[in-house]
Structure 1
């Protein structure tokens, strides 16, 4: 199961010098199938006219541990699942007034009220590797070089705060650790995107 899957407990570990960093993953139930979903087509230019005026698509993060995801952009619409992981990166793919249609790392999408989202940039470490029998750890390097010392080993699904990205490497803060991860191993930043 992944980020948008049924309620579950996942443990992500980072290790450096015998010290373990644990991140607890408690998420809500699986979103429904596309049948019956309310779809409000909003082109990027229309979204900017009726929404925030910011670029669509873009990455943001969840502001709280409980974020209701609705079938459509209204409190009258059914809650289809609940995110329960503050800081989780999501992609805004459409806007309608004060509502944002967001997509998670598994491709599930729904509508969230704007005040439940933050402009703080976060990333998931290699979420596509989560659940594999032999989960590969992703090295957190001291500098933006594969040859540099490894500060910590990060498990898939760990959330990191983005300090900056140069299009190839991102400097992240993960717990008490700071270092660099290759950008193509992260979900929450676009390929070749620069973040200051």
Structure 2
């Protein structure tokens, strides 16, 4: 009888090992739900969005974002919920319907210069104060073209938040 029990345990452990070999650990660099890269940037598509302690309506609200178009960074996914954070690291879980794939950036420099071309020697066409939000048009490795209230110019990535350091957008 002991021998039969031992055979069953060995068979069970072999099956568990085989299942584990077939089911690799999830890749933390992509979302479990969307299979999109993590982290990634999105924008708030409403004028108010609740960030909750956990992924569900039963979790308490920790933070309320109140700027339509504000860039947010998605760091995790669970069902219809996305864990987001702002430029200061504040955030929580938000329902995906409150977020848009449209890209924006937040000016982080006290007074940033936007240039006519993606280099510091080109003419300054616009200046933007800290915390101004603009729509991202395109980015190369060091510069992004930003639209602020109908005006456009190139801004150094060092002066904004909402785009990855090595991210290129067409």
Deviation at 1:123, TM superposition (A): 0.3
C-alpha distance in structure 2 between counterparts of 1:53 and 1:76, whole Å: 26
Cα deviation digits, residues 90-128 of structure 1 (max 9, x gap):
0000000110000110011300000100000100011xx
Match of 1:63 among 33, 37, 45: 45
- Over the aligned positions, Cα root-mean-square deviation in angstroms equals 1.5
- Where structure 1 has 5 or more consecutive residues not aligned to the other structure, the ranges are 1-41, 130-135
- Equivalent residue number for residue 157 of structure 2: 183
Given the superposition, is the C-alpha separation of residues 80 and 43 from structure 1 closer, same or farther in structure 2, using an over 3 Å criterion?
farther
Cα deviation digits, residues 113-163 of structure 1 (max 9, x gap):
00100000100011xx5xxxxxx3110111112111111110010001010
Q: Does 1:109 align with 2:91?
A: yes
C-alpha distance in structure 2 between counterparts of 1:75 and 1:177, whole Å: 39
TM-score, normalised by the number of residues in structure 1: 0.70
Given the superposition, is the C-alpha separation of residues 70 and 102 from structure 1 closer, same or farther in structure 2, using an over 3 Å criterion?
same
- Alignment of structure 1 residues 73-112 onto 2, 5 Å: 73-112=55-94
Q: Tell me which of the two structures has the higher relative contact order, counting C-alpha pairs closer than 8 angstroms and 6 or more residues apart.
A: 1
- Equivalent residue number for residue 28 of structure 2: 44
C-alpha distance in structure 1 between counterparts of 2:89 and 2:74, whole Å: 12
Deviation at 1:65, TM superposition (A): 0.4
C-alpha distance in structure 2 between counterparts of 1:55 and 1:123, whole Å: 18
Q: Which has the larger radius of gyration?
A: 2
Higher helix share: 2
TM-score, normalised by the number of residues in structure 2: 0.81
- Where structure 2 has 5 or more consecutive residues not aligned to the other structure, the ranges are 1-25
Q: Is the 8 A contact 2:62 2:91 kept in 1?
A: no
Q: Is the 8 A contact 1:69 1:82 kept in 2?
A: yes
- Equivalent residue number for residue 194 of structure 1: 168
Given the superposition, is the C-alpha separation of residues 193 and 96 from structure 1 closer, same or farther in structure 2, using an over 3 Å criterion?
same
Match of 1:142 among 116, 123, 147: 116
Deviation at 1:176, TM superposition (A): 1.9
